[in-house]
Structure 1
Amino acid sequence: MPTQSLQDRAAGALMGAFIGDALALGPHWYYDLDELRADYGDWISGYTDPRPGRYHAGLKAGQASQAGVLLALTLDSLVAAGGYDEADFCRRIDEDFFPLIDGTPMAGPGGYTSQSIREAWRRRVGEGLPWGQCGGNADTTEAAERGLAIAVRYALRPAELAAALTRNTLLTQTDGTVVAMTVAFGAVLGMLVEGHALDARLSGKLMARVKTGELPFHTVTRGRLGAPRPGEPETAVAGRFPSPDALLGPSAMASAAHDPDIRIEPAWKVSLVYGMPCAVYHQFPAAYYLAARFRDDFESAVLHAVNGGGQNQARAMLAGALAGAQVGLAGIPRRFIDGLERGEQCLAQARRLAVQLAAEH
């Protein structure tokens, strides 16, 4: 396992996410790559201002999008409560966040409100529904973006990680596949914070946790996906999620990243291979690939994520968390923290959460 400390990896994952989010603030959602290059040059290497008339217009380089704002809110809740307290999280959304948005896309902190958050606002504020009835069917990564803080907090307790992240995701997103892929991403991130490698063996380790009941995925196979034994009761390995496929994908992407016969050059073109749009099935594979390919190079992981265009904010945020967990806080170039608005405050909270995690080690 890596020599970085548990605290260093935990703080690195959180700061990697904050940095990835802010790096994509300016060039967010350019689906025409020629337009992206015309506005920002051949290579984006740092924080940039959004252009007038585009997403996040009016914000400045180094500021957070709404995804970063919600990650900070989740992190604050976890630190204050000592863990995931759903009542505290929902109270913070009700009192500190929902009053700042109006249910339309181009409003509120961060300059843009994503689909699942708009739908939750309409049900909670517009219709007065209780939490638990506010989730929608958006197939995007918003829950994974804020929930990565939950995954870091419970990295040493995978069953609690899966339970807390499932509950938090369902507050805003209810599609079964989205929830499964979100929880799987959290489980992968938790393994990296523990110190495991993002490689061809990781999915096998995750499947072992399915077999022990620590991860709530359904499988009827034995080791290496072998056939079940005749008469073996299916209920012995039944989980909340109907398939373990979301746990198997990460090692396939890692294998592709490390296979000398498979090259995506330059690496930012991973967005063209796995897809530029917002859905989880485009975003997670690209993040896994970049984090595996640049496992020792945080800067390359996040900058290739940003330069790929499309929904590069989610790609960079997720890849940043995975890459940050692998290199640790010490492996993140200081310029990225110095250029981040509220960088020192984010860093202090990340370290507090890391201390809480390490106390359980």
Structure 2
Amino acid sequence: MVTYDGGEGVLLGLACGDALGEPVEGWSADRIAAEYGTLTEFVDGRVPPGGLTDDTEQALRLARSLVECGGFDPDDASRRFIEWFEGGAVGIGGLTRRVLRRIVDGDDWERASRESWENSSEGRNAGNGSVMRCAPIAVAYAHDFDELTTASRTSSKLTHYDPRCVYGCELLNRAIAGYLRDEPRPLEDALSALPEEAPDELIAAVEPVPDEIDPETLSPTGYVVDTLQVATYHALTADDAESAVVNAVNGGGDADTIGAVAGAIAGARFGASALPDRWVDELDRGDDLRRLGRELADLDT
């Protein structure tokens, strides 16, 4: 079973990255440096310091669905995303919005997601909106890679049907699960487990991480391939959980989501106890995140 420290670490790390990065989402690294030097504390943005946006909000709903259903139920998870959407979704991405709107208007989730993807142009069809929320699955199925694979892929297809997103979720969750299992080479093992049909572009971006990447070439965009490359690089090159999140966020670009993905990996790698108390204490719904992290760990057998 996953340790409670690991389960909590994934959710709390994700939320810390979201909260730290949200106020500077869309900023360049130079602008962040000019304003803050190095941003290490939660500050005001669209939400108060320590507040959560779509990254954590969707992860929370996925986590609750897993716990309350005793496993992954795509219909239940989709229903919870709709409730969030209709209640006022802070920071929601364009593709997620289009898919959820179609579901509200009467489509089933599979048709809404597939056709929204088919009708989206390149550049609007493979964002990071599913990889940012998928980490609860890694906790629930850390020792069951068959279920992890199915749930990861399907969870992406709820809103992001592009193969780069689908296999990106699988890759990320296999890596997180590897850290939770205390495996020696989680990312390498996750890459080697991908099937032949996994997109070459995704593999080519992540395979060189971390040792063969020049950090000056990192592109912190909302494109799922870029997000995974940047987030895994910072999560794997940092010596501690705080540095992983800080470095990811201060690179700019889609700072909240890259911070969230890096934070989830770092939380699995170092545990909740390694996250700064000053961050965790200030997080909105920190107690819920801790509880859900433990309950997800209890699902893993």
Q: Which has the higher helix share?
A: 2
- Whichever residue aligns with residue 109 of structure 2, its letter is W
- TM-score, scaled relative to structure 1: 0.75
Residue in 1 aligned with 2:80?
A: 92
1:35 aligns with 2:14: no
| Superposition deviation, residue 82 in structure 1 | 1.6
Question: Structure 2: where are the runs of 5+ without partners?
Answer: 118-124
1:60 aligns with 2:48: yes
Partner SS for 1:132:
helix
Structure 1's 155 and 242: CA in aligned 2 closer, same or farther, altered over 3 A? same
1:233-248 matched pairs, under 5 angstroms: 241-242=197-198, 246=202
Provide the C-alpha distance between the structure 1 equivalents of 2:233 and 2:8, rounded to a whole number of angstroms.
Answer: 22
Partner SS for 1:145:
coil
Structure 1's 194 and 346: CA in aligned 2 closer, same or farther, altered over 3 A? same
CA contact (8 A) 2:205 2:226 kept: no
Provide the C-alpha distance between the structure 1 equivalents of 2:167 and 2:178, rounded to a whole number of angstroms.
Answer: 17
Structure 1's 36 and 15: CA in aligned 2 closer, same or farther, altered over 3 A? same
Q: 2:59 is matched with which residue: 58, 67, 71?
A: 71
| Superposition deviation, residue 251 in structure 1 | 5.0
Partner SS for 1:47:
coil
Q: 2:218 is matched with which residue: 254, 274, 284?
A: 274
Higher relative contact order, chain-length normalized (CA < 8 Å, sep 6+): 2
Q: 2:254 is matched with which residue: 311, 331, 338?
A: 311
CA contact (8 A) 2:245 2:262 kept: yes
- TM-score, scaled relative to structure 2: 0.89
1:241-290 deviations in whole A, cap 9, x for unaligned? 34577457545212337xxxxxx6xxxxx4x5221221012111111111
Structure 1's 242 and 78: CA in aligned 2 closer, same or farther, altered over 3 A? closer
Provide the C-alpha distance between the structure 2 equivalents of 1:5 and 1:93, rounded to a whole number of angstroms.
Answer: 26
- Whichever residue aligns with residue 253 of structure 1, its letter is V
1:297-355 deviations in whole A, cap 9, x for unaligned? 00111001111111111111011011111111221121111011111221111111122
CA contact (8 A) 1:291 1:322 kept: yes
1:16 aligns with 2:4: no
Percent identity, please.
26
CA contact (8 A) 2:8 2:289 kept: no
Please say which structure displays the higher CA radius of gyration. Answer: 1
CA RMSD of aligned residues (A): 2.2
Question: Structure 1: where are the runs of 5+ without partners?
Answer: 51-55, 101-107, 219-240, 258-263, 265-269
- Whichever residue aligns with residue 66 of structure 1, its letter is D
CA contact (8 A) 2:20 2:50 kept: yes
Residue in 2 aligned with 1:45?
A: 40
Provide the C-alpha distance between the structure 2 equivalents of 1:176 and 1:205, rounded to a whole number of angstroms.
Answer: 16
Residue in 2 aligned with 1:162?
A: 149
1:347 aligns with 2:290: yes
1:194 aligns with 2:181: yes
CA contact (8 A) 2:140 2:297 kept: yes
